[in-house]
Amino acid sequence: MKMTTQQKAEVVTEMLDYVYIEQCQDISVLRAIYENLLRNENGKFPDLEYATKMRLSALLPEKENEQGKVNPKQMTSQEEVDREKTALQNWIECTNENATSIDDSASECQKRNQSSQPQLVAP
């Protein structure tokens, strides 16, 4: 898939694969995949993003790597890590609240069912 400098490669789901990325020789395709991964268009895949970044780094001339177009040493920012930790903590708290609410509801239903059951009287 050859592209001119004006064109961008179209990224299809099959390209979001470690084997494809490792075998790809086309820098423009790898850049398109990397940009797609950064935009989280098909989900968030930080390991695949990193693998793509490393592959680009291996293929790019040294001069382009120095200009910062691809910096394999740059990992997830602390701000992003903090944001994800907060989101995870919020999810855990919400899940715990829902579980407690479900347990409370089940207990109340069980109590109501026990009190409303007819009493059998022996003849």
* pTM of the shown model: 0.49
**In a 3-state reduction of DSSP, which class is residue 41?**
strand
How is residue 89 written in tokens? 């903590």
pLDDT at residue 122 tops 70: no
Handedness of CA 59, 65, 67, 68 (dihedral sign): positive
Q: What is the CA radius of gyration of the chain?
A: 27
pLDDT of residue 94: 84
**pLDDT tens digits along 12-60:** 889 999 999 999 999 999 999 999 999 988 888 889 999 999 999 888 8
- CA end-to-end span of the chain, whole Å? 88
pLDDT digits (tens, 9 = 90+) for 59-94: 888 766 655 555 545 556 778 778 888 888 888 888
